[in-house]
Amino acid sequence: MKRILTLVFIIFLIGCSINNTNSVNKETKVTLNSNEIIRQGENITFKIYEFHFERTNGQPNEYIDTINGAIGDSIEIVLINGDEYGENRVSSAKISLNDIELFTPKNFNQNVDTLRKIVVLTNDYNELVVRVMGSPGGFIDFNVYYTVALCQFDAKPIVSFVDEETGDTIQLEDPYFPSMLYEEEMEKIFEYEQEQLANHNSNTLSFSRARRGDIITVGVKKCNWPVKIYLITHDGIVLKNNVGEYNKSSTIHAHPNADNKNGVHYIHYFLWHGYDWIQFDRVTYNTAILNNVVNYATAQENEPYSYAAWSYKYYTYKWCCSSLVWRSYYNGSGRYFDLDCQYPRCSISPLEIVRDPATRRIAYQFN
């Protein structure tokens, strides 16, 4: 099967009359991971899946795939039949999601170029079955979109507390809202982070207190007075207990360029010491769950990194740091694990995970 899966963003103008001003209708185009973003109006629509189904020679072609999402989410399916010139169209096909028919052979013929349908997801993992029939040579492009109000990305979770030992007021901030929607802004965050890491080793927190399955969350200093403010930029998962600082399989994370590697890779403890803020969080002592968490995370080794994964955590073909942590724990325990009630339900960031009531801070250090 020839399949293309991408995560792109398109902004649709919704609910605006034809009398709106040009400033409202103005369209801007940028890219995110080489994918186009069209920003217009008050909603942002994620193109979360793109499949390509072909009709070849012989028996009808059958394809089976999965669409991930949250139960109750509404998605829009947009099916493009053939190419832009009206050629290579499919004359017969059957498409179902979770055994419910979306399109039947009656919906297809050589005059049909586009089909649309709104679907409410009934499972987290939704099985897509496509059977392409008719004469060889045709193809279908199957696109899935998810829409959320753009204003939701203005929310910024903040953690504030007083350190008992020093008396310092500590504030942890999330730099990814709404920066995650702009590749240029995301790159600036990582450039700043890398500059800080290159300057010094900022913490000496011992990993002797970390255990298999613990979450490591780190950040860089933004302000030192009158409140110590840290931007929480990264997280990962501890894989082993009581191993050396330079053991390269001690933790795992997703990063665009850590240790000159892009994507999901093992990383030794020593590199985590470059951050101004570091903390360990524990979710459970259940060995079976922790094994599932670790096994899922390590199974993603060498998968590519994507800035876009911050904004749609259900996407599992590319990763950001927090989507890897979130999905590993979701697969391991079967529960959602972030602040879905307060922030965009589709997004995920390290500080959202830290603020979840299920996490318990084991140790932290700052400078």
According to DSSP, the residues that pair with 258 across neighbouring strands are 261
**Shared-domain flag, residues 139 and 177:** no
**Residues 72, 129, 66, 116: is their CA dihedral positive or negative?**
negative
**CB–CB of 230/173 below 8 Å?**
yes
**CB–CB of 146/75 below 8 Å?**
yes
- Of 303, 347, 298, 301, residue with least CA distance to 326: 347
Q: Which domain holds residue 119?
A: 8-151
Question: What does the pLDDT look like over 158-167, one tens digit per residue?
Answer: 888 898 888 9
Candidate from 4-18, 45-59, 169-183, 198-212 with smallest mean pLDDT: 4-18
Q: Report phi then psi at 204, rounded to 5.
A: -125, 25
Q: Model-level pTM?
A: 0.78
Q: Is the predicted pLDDT of residue 238 greater than 90, yes or no?
A: yes
The encoded tokens of residue 192 equal 């700043």
The Cα–Cα gap between 217 and 109 comes to 54
Q: Which of 81-90, 265-274, 328-337, 352-361 has the highest mean pLDDT?
A: 81-90
Q: What is the mean pLDDT of residues 194-209?
A: 75
**Shared-domain flag, residues 227 and 339:** yes
Residue 267 lies in a domain: yes
Question: What does the pLDDT look like over 69-94, one tens digit per residue?
Answer: 888 889 999 999 999 999 999 999 99
**Shared-domain flag, residues 188 and 337:** yes
One-letter identity of residue 112: V
Q: What is the mean pLDDT of residues 349-361?
A: 88
**CB–CB of 35/43 below 8 Å?**
no
Tokens 């020593």 found at: 270
Number of structural domains in the chain: 2
Q: Report phi then psi at 49, rounded to 5.
A: -145, 145
**Shared-domain flag, residues 108 and 172:** no
**Shared-domain flag, residues 141 and 165:** no
CA 67 to chain centre: 14
**CB–CB of 139/53 below 8 Å?**
yes
Q: Is the predicted pLDDT of residue 169 greater than 80, yes or no?
A: yes
Average pLDDT along the chain:
81
**Shared-domain flag, residues 179 and 78:** no
- Please, is 274 exposed, middle or buried when counting C-beta atoms within 10 Å of its C-beta (0-12, 13-18, 19+)? buried
DSSP at 110: T
Tokens 């055994």 found at: 99
The encoded tokens of residue 360 equal 């318990």
Candidate from 71-85, 88-102, 103-117, 307-321 with smallest mean pLDDT: 307-321
- Of 199, 231, 177, residue with least CA distance to 366: 231
Q: What is the mean pLDDT of residues 32-41?
A: 51
Residue 1 lies in a domain: no
Q: Of the candidates 95, 121, 151, which is a domain's last residue? A: 151
Tokens 């927090």 found at: 322
Residue 2 lies in a domain: no
CATH code of the domain containing 234: 3.90.1720.10
pLDDT at 244: 63
**CB–CB of 146/340 below 8 Å?**
no
